[in-house]
Structure 1
Amino acid sequence: MRKLILLLFLPALSFSQSIQVDQDRYTAQELIEEVLIQSDCITDVVVTNVSGANFTDGSKSFGYFDASGTEFPISNGLVLSTGKLNTISEPTSNLANDFHSSWEGDSQLEEELNIDSYNATIIEFDFVPNVAGISFRYLFASEEYQFDNSVTCKFSDAFAFFIRKADETTYENLAVVPGTQTPILNTTVHPYISDNCPAVNEAYFDRFNFDAETIFDGQTKVLNALAAVIPGETYHVKLVIADDLNDKYDSAVFLEAGSFQSSADLGPDRLVQNNDAICYGESIILKPATATGDQVEWYRNGVLLQDEKGDQLLVTTPGEYSIELTSTEGCIAQGNVIIEYYPQIDYSPAELVACGFSDTDIASFNLPESASQILNPSQRTVVEEFFINRSDAENGVNQIIDSENYNSAEATVYGTVHDGFGCSEIAEINLTITSETILNAFSICSGEGSGGKEIEINKLRDYLFQQNNSASDFQIYLSKENALSEDSEILTDISFSELEQGELYVKILDQEACLGFAVLPIQNAGAAELPEDLVLSLCNANQEELLLDSGLDSNALEDFTFQWFYEEELLPQSSSKICVSQPGNYRVEVTNQNSCVSSRNFEVNLIETATIQEVEIKNLANGYEVEIDITGNATYEYSLDDPGQFQPSSIFSNVSPGIHTIYVRDTKGCNMISKEISIFGYDHFFTPNGDGINDTWTVHGIATDYTVQIYSRYGKLYTVLDPKNTRWNGKFENVDLPAGEYWFSLIQNGEVGLTGHFSLIR
């Protein structure tokens, strides 16, 4: 079921024809000598041991295979399996799972590869080489390769090609990952399966199979086994494959016919697709690893290199290189390798410009910003490291740590350009510090001691854009130091008095890049010094005139022009003074020879007659206090009982009880109003002795509609006072009453409003 599901998911990977296998066509001796080797330069080939399956139906676990007409990468040769040979040709959807109880493993394979082996197939043979190197081609296929299943990383059958000199006991395994001692297993060669099963030596993995030429679920690429040998010596080879842990999920190793031969190995191909090509401009030395010869011939793309006769070749250009080594016996050892080069890294020098002033020695540079100048966007390159000198860049030492904030004087530094393949180039980065420019002065109109914000930030920015149309923005500062550190940028209006030297410092920006600093002089064109605004009063419209004076010094009038406005409408007068007779808002604008305008405002109000809102009377210990509350638009003065004597205060103190008149007028004397007030009181004692002083008792501050009853403390009524009879002489029925305390009641509108007592003194 597992294989059926995989077939449904990936129907495109389809191979309709299987390889053919034959266990009887060749004997083991013939498979080695006539199929695998086929070389006169390898002699005395003798098979010394064969061990494999012993199935009751006679099936073997090794034999000949023919892949003609299929997509299998080896056309024919010898195959060793951990199952029945015939099972190899079954559909991939089947499971290769052949075993029988008496099929044992191999102790040497267990010891060398640390496995628990079952179902071992072994062919051992001796041979004598006549050259100094041999090689053969093979691939490994297994049911242990599981598509999209991390068990691929956990279990693997094992195989080995052991070789040793016949008179020695130490073997070397030739079935290893090229350039390493790692044996070829599905756990050591596979693509990415999952995070728990990452890719390992993926360059040597060929494919997963779903409906392929064999029953196996996956296979490696064709690999090359190499061995250095001594001509004339006898060597022993052991080809062995076995299941690990159990006898299920079989595997096989396919050896290419005729590939076991004299070899002058030049190493693996250096290919772009394998990520091991040569960097542009670099060279590589080719030298056979396993062979020597009396005659050496080198070829590039099939063309003999006439002048190359040595045992090594310096390669500086791509191509397919091959070598032929011919011994004195006439045996030829051949080797070839494809050398590819990565594309040349296209890069350019860069210049980073830091903003500064003429006295700026050191500035801050963001070195990674040079990448946009250095790199060709059509290439996938990056600039990753930066160095102070080329030697450090070449050796990769003393890297600049904080490259985004690199403080430096004007200099040249170096960046390493990487292409992702391990190749690099070194690009120069010139660091330049610009000097400031001097802009045309920005004029303002400021009077001495004006205290205003004469420099308007929006007008200033508009002026800067007129001066530099290539800028996208500006930053404005009061000092060089602030401009360099980008501290305290000016964002609002400022006054001329805040400038230290009559200059502002501007950082000119293009997007976020600094184009340079500029010094902007601020020129004060001056303005007329006018007095403060005035509020004036007018008694009667059209009946009197007020003089409005601009306030300018009469000695400087000829240097100025004047414009007068009434309620924002221009008046025809153009002198420094005018007379007006209408209330309202007037303004004069005084313009100097530099077109600077000063203005003074006049508010002319028609004087209102005061309105008395309230008169507050307070009874204090030393008399009464009267306070007058009014409304009106002018300045007013006050009088009590005497319209010829006024005071600025609205409060009168020590006022006696009685009827009084208050007067209010404006200080210009335009209008005056009056109001009578009454302060109620009574005599606290009287002395009716005929001396003319305090001879009678009365009440004060009340004139009409009242009665006062006077009686003893026991309530005996003696007399009644009213507006016609206002005073009492201390008599009852024309008889003097004795000295003492007497009581009174004030009655108004039929109700008692006040009671009290007083003393009669004799």
Structure 2
Amino acid sequence: MKYSIFSYKLFVILLLVFGFAKAQFITVDNSTYSDYQLVADKFIGTQNLSCVSISNVKVSGGNIGGSDSSYGFFTKGTSSFPMNEGIILSTGSVLAAPGPKGAIQDVSASGWIGDPDLADALRLPVSDLTNATVLEFDFSSTLSDKVSFRYMFLSEEYYTGNYSYSDAFAFLIKEAGSTDPYTNIAIVPGTNNPVSVTTINDITNDKYFGGFIGIDNPSASATNFNGQTKILTAVADIKPGTNYHIKLVIADEKNYRYDSAVFLEAGSFTGNIELLPNIETDDSAIICDSTLGIELKPKNLISDLGATYKWTEDSNPGVVLSSNPTYPTNTPGNYRLEVKLSSGCTLAGNIRVENAPVAIIDNSPIMICDDDFDDKYKEKLSKFTNQIVTNFNRDFKVEYYTQAGTQINPDNNFEFTQNPQDITVKVGAFSCTPDTYTLRFYHGSQLQMNYPQQPTTIPVFDVCDNELKGNKTENLDDYIGLMTTEVLNPADVKFYEKISELKADNPSINKSQTLSTTQTEKTFYIRITKPGNFCDNYSVFKLRFKQPKKSVMLKDTIICKNTATDLEVEPTFDYYEWSNGEQGTNVTKIKDQKAGNYWVKLTSNGCVYQQFIKISEPQDLVIDNALIEGNKVTVLAANGIPPYQYSLDGQPYQSGNVFENIPKGDHTIEVMDACGSVVRDFSIINVKNIITPNDDGKNDTIDYSDLMTKLEPRLEIYTRNGTLVFKGNPENQYIWNGKLNGRPLPTSSYWYILEWNESGNPKRVQHTGWVLLKNRN
């Protein structure tokens, strides 16, 4: 297990400076006494053997090697160890147990295993245990119906860090020969928790912790362990005369590191007597009044007239306080009474005495609120117990009374009908006489709301869908400032959908709420809280979903360059605010606006819609192309401001962009828009498909000389077999006379290819087909 303690450099320095001259440590003897002698003569004591019979004694431990062992007999010598002498059972070497505090004890011996009965008792896997040392024997007693003995648990695992680990030990007892499970009597007083490093160092049990002996002052440590418990008492109920088997066992848990040991006080295995006064806490008698104190005595009269009595207290174990049957005291401590009977046998009893805790009272006035808003001021007084008794714990008894003396059940609602109203509080520890106090309760003032709790007209707040999305999400925290003038944190405000949830203070609502065209209204309850002397208050409000309108008249527009236009909307809105600063209830139009970006805020239905408009100037009007297909022309225009008007060769304008039956020759097309017009020239080439070269002046040639005006013209004529017979060029001016190399070609059909580009038209004009040549010569 992981472990960190202080550095031992200080210990080495102390040894060098002072030596061991003043050191006083326990001594350990692991060779003088047999197993039987350890139990009979030392643990039980020869004086008790006439009243307690033992048999089957067995002590076992690890085979550490040489003369070393894991159990033996110890004496305190001149040290300050709380026990005079007794038996030591260790998970390591008993010879390493005496002080001063030196290196960490962590003996590992081959084959030294755990114990299955210990594992069962502590509900641990037996594989988690190793290095077990066991002392066990059978006994029967006629002394009383209880037996007890005293012990201490010491360990290297005590340290000032996190107590996450503890070696395991238990004192197991059952009737001899029984198949019943063992009972573990090594438990923290008043609990069922086994004694361990982790339980003893729990804050509720730290009164049983004896201190960090090896950490605080290693050179003066009586033992070589880091810490120890105080003297504890193990008690077992028995039937007098019945034979029992007892097994005292200790083992390392998880691994062999950081050894632990149990110290059993010699002569402490006795019959048990119960002492008075009766135990009031789990393990202590209480002194209510230090001036009166209490009287300690056996619960049952001891009839043996020859008995002798010895009272001691653990802080001074060698000092006999009294030899009387009773002992009065007003001092807290761990007291022990040993009664030696005339037979020589011993009875013993232990009692822990503590002062009653003193209540610390805060009797400041207490504010009461009408938290469920039923016009009644009610509270469970138990709510204020920890506020009134600032050091309250289970030792205190707190009672409440009216001024008339009627007791009030603190767990029931009590109505404060007066303002202020005094309540009597009685506080006492255990059965001690309680002290009486008077507390004043008053009705607190509610926080301020801007609207009554249940107004005749619930305030309604509009949720405007100004983007016309059809829904709007709101954060309810945004409405806190509308409902109250109190300065609050959002965490001090809760929202509810139902008044019943509000009064029960059971919020079940998300602060992010969405309204829409399908759910246009929601009601919410608001409850406000504020730290300090304030009472909660509440109110109610509604959220209503609304949408504004937009203008259908107002649209993006295009105007001619260096001109202006008016922007106008319908006169059906409640208010207008334009981007040029003009605003009012009747400002439906702004005049003479040039190209640019504009907006208008249109108020309607209590909401505002901001509509954006763009006024643009067009690019210059252009004629992209005049698509010529034979005698048909399609004019393609762009930019400007449509619609366009078209005119051919100065003729009247038409709305269509197609002209047909255009004669061969040069022509001019004009396109006009709202801002002006543009023109473009073009020419028509007639496509011919017959040639009769007989010099009669008719169809003697195919004349495509108009190609001279076109871009990248091409004219080629081929036979049916693909033989080129004519190729047009500027030299022949694209005119074919039906001859090849000056010789007439035979009558036949010839294939032609005719192509050119029109200026501004990315698409090339292409014509292909058959030409019929009739040669009459």
TM value normalised by structure 1: 0.43
State which structure, 1 or 2, has the greater radius of gyration over its C-alpha atoms. Answer: 1
TM value normalised by structure 2: 0.42
